[in-house]
Amino acid sequence: MGVGEALSAARVASGQTVEDVSRATRIRGELLRRIEADDFSGCGGNVYARGHVRAIATHLGLDAAELVAEFDRTHGAPVAPAAHEIFEHEVIAMPDRKGPNWTAAMATAAGVLLIVALVSLFNASPTPTPSANPVTSESPTPSPEPSATTATEPTPGPLAGHVPGNGVAMRIAIVNSRSYVTVRIDGRTVFQGLLKDGDQRDYTAKRLINVVIGNAGAVNLIVNGQDLGSPGRPGEVVRLNFGPDDPANAG
């Protein structure tokens, strides 16, 4: 699911129109529609596009840093400007003089050093901070991390002890891509955000669970002990309600 699709799904799930978001963020409605279609060509460059993504995500209550990072992965992160983009040099003809012009030479050298310093500043990586407790020859050898082959299955959660007709139990798992999800328990919103491939969440309620899914094809649902599979197609927004007698009455 692309950045634009995630923003679109979040807007739909929040019940807002493009015009609502446009008024709140000061971003033109036509440009918002293009961004939701993953078309950032009208933003005037990646720097402005990242700013628009951050503003829209913040307004919709999404993790703005995560969506900006996803934009950088798919569209390229901003790069440090080259030295010739920072300074403009003009060649000035100087009158002939007897002997070297030490003032001009020193000015040129200072300019070169400044350019080198600025380029180094843009491209420098942060130096890792040394550990406060470095391991010495006398320190005990740390225990090896467990092998991947020892990993266990996810814990059953509230579904394992669910008694039919006694409240509602739902598990939502992201099986591919990602999806924006809103969950309400007995009328109260308990989760609203973006879930990624491999994420899993369990919920229980006394009377009713409402769920809005922005990318139905990425989700697998288990309700009251019954595996419902995917509730829709990739990119489809679905709204579902589950009570103690469901999933027979889901809808």
Q: What is the DSSP letter of 2?
A: -
CATH of the domain at 50: 1.10.260.40
- Domain edge (last residue) among 75, 107, 135: 75
User: What string of H, E and C letters represents the secondary structure of 141-182?
Assistant: CCCCCCCHHHCCCCCCHHHCCCCCCCCEEEEEEECCCEEEEE
Domain presence at residue 184: yes
* Owning domain of residue 211: 157-242
The two structure tokens encoding residue 236? 């489809």
Reply yes or no on whether the pLDDT at 155 is more than 60.
Answer: no
Task: Establish if 107 belongs to a structural domain.
Answer: no
Q: What is the pLDDT of residue 7?
A: 94
Strands of the chain, DSSP E: 168-174, 178-185, 188-196, 200-205, 209-213, 219-223, 226-229, 238-242
Does the residue 119 lie in any domain?
A: no
Residue 113 lies in a domain: no
Q: Which two tokens stand for residue 46?
A: 């990646």
Whole-number pLDDT of residue 88: 46
Strands 188-196 and 238-242: unpaired
Residues of the chain with pLDDT > 70, as a percent, come to 63
Note the pLDDT of residue 221: 92
Mean of pLDDT values over 184-209: 92
* Beta carbons within 10 angstroms of residue 221's beta carbon: 22
pLDDT for 250: 47
Name the domain boundary from 11, 40, 75: 75
Domain-located, residue 228: yes
Q: Which of 75, 108, 124 is the last residue of a domain?
A: 75
Mean pLDDT (whole number) for 211-240: 90
Domain count, the chain: 2
Give residue 116's pLDDT: 60
Predicted confidence band of residue 192 (pLDDT cuts 50, 70, 90): confident
Is the pLDDT score of 118 beyond 70? no
pLDDT in tens, 49-72: 999 999 999 999 999 999 999 999
